[in-house]
Amino acid sequence: MNLFQEMGLPGPLVKKLAQMGITEPTPIQERAIPFALDGDDVMGLAQTGTGKTAAFGLPLLAQLMEVRGKPAPKSVRSLILAPTRELAGQIRDTLVPLVKDTPIKVGLVVGGASINAQIKRLERGTDVLVATPGRLLDLLDRRALNLDATQFLVLDEADQMLDLGFIHALRKIAGLLPDERQTMLFSATMPKQMEEIAASYLTHPKRVQVSPPGKAADKITQAVHFIAKSEKPNLLIELLDGHRDELALVFGRTKHGSDKLAKRLEAAGFAVAAIHGNKSQGQRDRALKAFRAGEVRVLVATDVAARGLDIPDVKHVYNFDLPNVAENYVHRIGRTARAGRDGAAVAFCAPDEMGELKDIQKVMGISIPVASGRPWADLPDPNAKPKGRGGPRRGKGGGAQPGKSQGGPRRRHRSGPRKKAA
């Protein structure tokens, strides 16, 4: 008898896991599944890549296997909400093999796909519906489904749903659900607003945490290059050239910048694709499929790809632009070193990104080893009165080209919040 059996999962489910080569639960699964099987609300805190989908998916399916009869037309027995189309699709793909040869049907509704086709499929009723909040609300507004009989609710990557501005959508959806239900919330971080969400959605939840927020996988080797912004593309090409046969994920901050960088890499001879919020769902799916298959070796992405995507063979993650939100750095580099593999995470830091780097190191509780250059001097306070010509000047950063002048107009700290990219 393995641990999955000891937890109380039904035999057919344990057998399917064994056929997939899964015989031992991960720490988050081992701690969360027994509580969920007992019907308790669960709040799980763990980084991406720790097996959270199975931690909520297995007990959910186990309980649905005990439900007799088909779901009523347009009804949903269990609802799983995810922040992005890619993560929602991945959750669906994880659950489908587990319900093979059972009456349980898993549905998917996300933006970027035909809403009429989704409405048609929902007419028959759904056992497990995986959805993004925006598309779910569109379907609810069209009365294509109802949540009156929903017994289970799962919020996956809940902190990212808050980051993406889904708080009002979540509140509206929650108001349509029965009070008597089981709710599971999984998140990589626990910001203050998350505590409020948990208090609203969960009833006396069992809290399970397997790694502290901000902690990256142990097998990720990290490094930072201090480099002028204009020199970043050249350094990236040089580093990528050293491992052309390995998969590399490159994170940019903006949609336009990611497209521009992808074209630059393509001109340098790399098999490259880009994904971001302006790409259609078909374009994003094709890019990810080609990347997983190794047909594309370099994938340039905004933070839309930072959460939940499980691409086991990613060996390198490059933070071409540092993220505005420090926690997103942890999620980005979590795309490598999956399932016990080794991985490398390299960050590029321009002069105006020193604040972001300091925030990242504070969240992680470490100093990222320096690969080249030296830390840029602190930028002046934008609110401070300008100094005279004789006042101290900003020191030169180690990422600049040796021997070249640092003259020209000085960069000023951008005031106000930075624009958030999808």
Q: Does the pLDDT of residue 389 top 50, yes or no?
A: no
With cut-offs at 50, 70 and 90, classify the pLDDT of residue 15: very high
Please tell me the predicted confidence (pLDDT) of residue 391.
Answer: 43
Predicted local confidence at residue 308, as pLDDT: 59
Q: Nearest-CA neighbor of 26 among 214, 154, 210, 217? A: 210
Per residue in 50-85, pLDDT (tens digit) is 788 999 999 999 999 999 899 999 999 999 999 988
pLDDT tens digits, 340-379: 678 999 999 999 999 999 999 998 889 999 999 999 975 4
**In the prediction, which pLDDT does 150 show?**
97
- Indicate whether this model's pTM tops 0.85: no
Judged against a pLDDT cut of 90, whether residue 138 lies above it is answered with: yes
Q: Edge to edge, what strands does the sheet with 247-251 contain?
A: 272-275, 298-301, 247-251, 314-319, 343-349, 220-226, 370-372
Half-sphere exposure of 402 (CA within 13 A, CB side): 3
With vertex at residue 158, the alpha carbon angle to CA 155 and CA 159, rounded to the nearest 5 degrees, is 175
Provide the mean pLDDT of the chain: 85
For 3-209, the fitting CATH number among 2.30.110.10, 3.40.50.300, 3.40.1400.10, 3.30.70.270 is 3.40.50.300
**Assigned token pair, 309:** 């995507």
Contacts of 221 (CB under 8 A, 6+ apart): 342, 343, 344, 345
Q: Within a 10 A sphere around the Cβ of 22, how many other Cβ atoms?
A: 17
Q: Is 3 exposed, middle or buried (0-12, 13-18, 19+ CB in 10 A)?
A: middle
Note the CATH number of domain 220-372: 3.40.50.300
The Cα 90–Cα 105 span in angstroms is 16
pLDDT for residue 165: 78
The number of residues making up the chain comes to 422
Give me the helices (H) in 41-101, please.
52-64, 85-95
pLDDT tens digits, 281-336: 788 889 989 999 999 999 999 987 666 577 878 999 999 999 998 888 988 888 88
Can you give the residue ranges of every domain in the chain? Answer: 3-209, 220-372
- C-alpha dist (Å) from residue 77 to 61, 95, 206: 11, 15, 22
pLDDT tens for each residue of 188-205: 777 777 777 888 889 999
Instruction: Answer yes or no: are the C-beta atoms of 181 and 148 closer than 8 Å.
Output: no
User: Which of the four pLDDT bands, split at 50, 70 and 90, describes residue 419?
Assistant: very low
| DSSP H or E run through 319 | strand 314-319
Are 302 and 422 spatial neighbours (Cβ–Cβ below 8 Å)? yes
CA 120 to chain centre: 30
